Structure 1
Amino acid sequence: MTSILQKLILIASPFFILSCISEQIGPEVDCVTSPVEITIDQLVDANCGASDGSFLVIADGGIGPYTFSSDFESNSDGSFTQLASGNYAISVTDSVGCASEIDVTIKNKGGVNLDEIVTTDSGCGTSQGSIDVTASGGVEPYSYSLDGGSAQASNTFAGLSHGSYDVVVEDATGCETTQSVNILSGISYQNPIKSIIENNCAISGCHNGSVSPDLRSFSSIQSNADRIKARTANGSMPRGRTLTQTQIDQIACWVDDGAPNN
């Protein structure tokens, strides 16, 4: 029979120890020092009313291979074709998850184009937002519409609440261009969101390190933003305290804005 001493020697043998550490852990990747860099090549504008525009996205840096994504497709070669005029948000992600984004504009050849869109915030729970549009090209006069609504001669839309809107500009020949625009609430993390969390959540016995997640840093608050919104809305957070409805609404508006560090 194998003695207890023999068993201990077997467990402590070099073979056993090596077998436990045979799995290699790869080096951590810093996306800041090794970023994915993006350039646009072979951009072709579209004929008015046609989906014949295109562009090629070229990635460098990071660790390939790359994945190229828009809101309508993903591919591995960076080629985007059969595009109508408009603005396209492109994201490139490398093999370890580092990502960069770029906006690409396909213009109308010889037609009306959107030069600039300026927005104002709506406020939280209010409708004080606005959109101002500057267009050029094509044949004037232009008409402007929002989300498929009635066309108007004014290039300004007011009384808008928080959300996403499709702005359409049409010239006198019927050529048009469209762009999506986000109206934010404008709620700031520095005031009031930070103080709400510091005074009610990141306190002793709660999310100050003793309970996960630790909400003493902005990065942790941002990564848990959706969870914070949901739990403050249903009253399960903060524990032992009650937020006002205004504070709950402010958290929700900030999270809906994308939880920015503003």
Structure 2
Amino acid sequence: MWIKVTFRAMCSLIFLSATSCTWEQMTPQFDCSVSPVQLELIDSNDSECGVSDGSFTVQASGGEPPYTISSESATNSEGVFENVPAGNYTVLVTDANDCSEELNVEIQNANGVNLTKIETLIAGCQSNDGGIEVIATGGVEPYLYTLNGGSEQASNVFSALSSGSHTIGITDQEGCSVTGNVQVLSGVSYSSSIEKIIKNNCTSCHGVSASPSFDSYDEIRAHAASIKRVTGNKSMPRGATISQDEIDRIACWVDDGALSN
């Protein structure tokens, strides 16, 4: 059996063989552990209740500038976020190598209700078994709670939820409010589920000497989004068939953040 190896720009490889070990060319992923990007909170100011006058400043370092820094309130390159209401913010920095880092920043109500703690239950893949329990303090009780901008309720517990990002809102008796974002996970495990699917169906073509290689968790995680896409549209794996349940589990694992769980 002859195997033709073609070298492309940026050291991409395409392998052609009689066993149909072909795949769409993927841009090699930069190893972010070589030069990790970092994000640090420099300053923050709480907001007065009912007024969007809070602020926070973060600073990016490492990696490869320029940086793009984003949160729920804005996107910029300076890391300065002003005129923000009370709430929990997820700040994401991405550098020129597409390496990223996250930082959670809390802006509290200076004189009102605040979100203290959120507990979650896993939802399962393609299921609605998830749950959220919210703990709030401050302000004037009793509180009213909302989920994803829906109707207010007196209970601090939400059930029958699908996996994904959810927004919690809390309002006290004086009309002071705060919001927070939380991710409910599907709970799909890499070690007991995804690793077996990849090893059994993909490594005959994406072995140690291939590019891209799916021989380790780090390599699989680096290509997680592409793996979700090509298994979802059923263009991969070549020469093998995976079930819809396996396709769904890959998608759920990637949407959870491609965790090493």
Letter of the aligned partner of 1:218 in structure 2? Y
Letter of the aligned partner of 1:223 in structure 2? A
The residue that corresponds to 1:230 in the other structure is: 229
The more displaced of 97-106 and 46-55 is: 97-106
The residue that corresponds to 2:247 in the other structure is: 248
Q: State the SS of the aligned residue for 1:139.
A: coil
Taking the aligned partners of 1:86 and 1:211, their CA distance within structure 2 comes to 46
Letter of the aligned partner of 1:229 in structure 2? K
The residue that corresponds to 1:218 in the other structure is: 217
Q: State the SS of the aligned residue for 1:115.
A: strand
What does 1:15-164 correspond to in 2, within 5 Å? Answer: 37-59=38-60, 67-92=68-93, 99-164=100-165
TM-score (norm 2): 0.78
Q: State the SS of the aligned residue for 1:180.
A: strand
Is the contact between residue 73 and residue 81 of structure 2 (CA under 8 Å) also seen in structure 1? no
> 1:90 Cα shift?
2.1
Q: Which runs of 5+ in 2 are unaligned?
A: 1-29
Check if 1:181 corresponds to 2:178.
Answer: no
Change (3 A) 1:97 1:160: closer
Is the contact between residue 89 and residue 106 of structure 2 (CA under 8 Å) also seen in structure 1? yes
Letter of the aligned partner of 1:133 in structure 2? V
Q: State the SS of the aligned residue for 2:192.
A: coil
Q: State the SS of the aligned residue for 1:168.
A: strand
Change (3 A) 1:98 1:248: closer
Taking the aligned partners of 1:162 and 1:230, their CA distance within structure 2 comes to 19
Taking the aligned partners of 1:243 and 1:165, their CA distance within structure 2 comes to 31
Change (3 A) 1:190 1:151: same
Percent identity, aligned pairs only, is 50
Q: State the SS of the aligned residue for 1:231.
A: helix
CA RMSD of aligned residues (A): 2.6
Change (3 A) 1:143 1:45: same
Q: State the SS of the aligned residue for 1:249.
A: helix
Q: What whole-Å deviation, never above 9, does each CA across 1:93-115 have from its counterpart, x for those lacking one?
A: 56776654321111112111000
Taking the aligned partners of 1:31 and 1:247, their CA distance within structure 2 comes to 29
Task: Kindly tell me the number of residue pairs found equivalent between the two proteins.
Answer: 232
Letter of the aligned partner of 1:168 in structure 2? G
Q: State the SS of the aligned residue for 1:190.
A: helix
Q: Which runs of 5+ in 1 are unaligned?
A: 1-28
> 1:196 Cα shift?
0.9
